[in-house]
Amino acid sequence: MEQKQKSEFTKQLILEESFRLFYSNGFKSTSVDKVMLATKLTKGAFYHHYKNKQELGLAVITTKVKERVYDGMVAPLYQPGNALDILKATFIDRLKSFSIHEKKHGCPMNNLINEIGDEEIAYQIALKKIIEEWQAALIFLIDRGKLEKSIQQNIESKAVAIYLISAFEGIRGIRKLYQDDAILEAYISGLSFYLQKLEV
């Protein structure tokens, strides 16, 4: 049992450090050697868990990136309460909660989409699954808001969901270019105005 726990700890350490390095330095510029240096593990330990960097990248997407998006942007959408208030809280509060490091480096998922999303089908499928889960949660919430008459009936739920995801991911990328939050604050103001237009 102790060996199994040690093996799982090693695997998690590799995932954690890989996610951190991919996020800070980019996927392509992060080699297996750099991951091993950060973890202080041997290459043997790495290859015991992963065949290559590509497999590691996929594991980071399907665990660390997915968990981050689910915890921050998907799970809150299934909470009880006024649908429009939940939308505002999820998107606006999330943006306001990001650290300086997160603002500087943008969204880990979006960074990976831009850097490697067009290179391998496996990456595309894994990243699309995250987006589609987020989209499904938004559609669920918007449809619930329509039923509860807090959101206008005539809007197309899928279109709003795609717009909200795209705009959110876009501002995360654009904010990387700036040294302060002025553009983020302008976006939040615009988003607040847009969400008010959905209200009954």
32 class by beta-carbon count within 10 Å (0-12 exposed, 13-18 middle, 19+ buried): middle
SS3 200: coil
Q: What is the pLDDT of residues 90-100, one digit of tens each?
A: 999 999 999 99
Per-residue confidence band for 5, with pLDDT thresholds at 50, 70 and 90? confident
Domains detected in the chain:
1-50 (1.10.10), 53-198 (1.10.357.10)
In the structure, what pLDDT confidence band is assigned to residue 6 with cuts at 50, 70 and 90?
Answer: confident
Phi then psi dihedrals of residue 79, to 5 deg: -75, 150
Residue with tokens 């996929």: 58
d(CA 13, CA 152): 47
Give percent of the chain above pLDDT 70. 100
pLDDT of residue 2: 78
| Whether the predicted pLDDT of 1 surpasses 70 | no
Per-residue pLDDT at 119: 85
Q: What is the 8-class DSSP label of residue 151? A: B
Report CA torsion sign: 150, 156, 159, 163: negative
- Tokens found for residue 173: 């990328």
Res. 66: pLDDT tops 90: yes
In this prediction, residues 78-84 reach a mean pLDDT of: 97
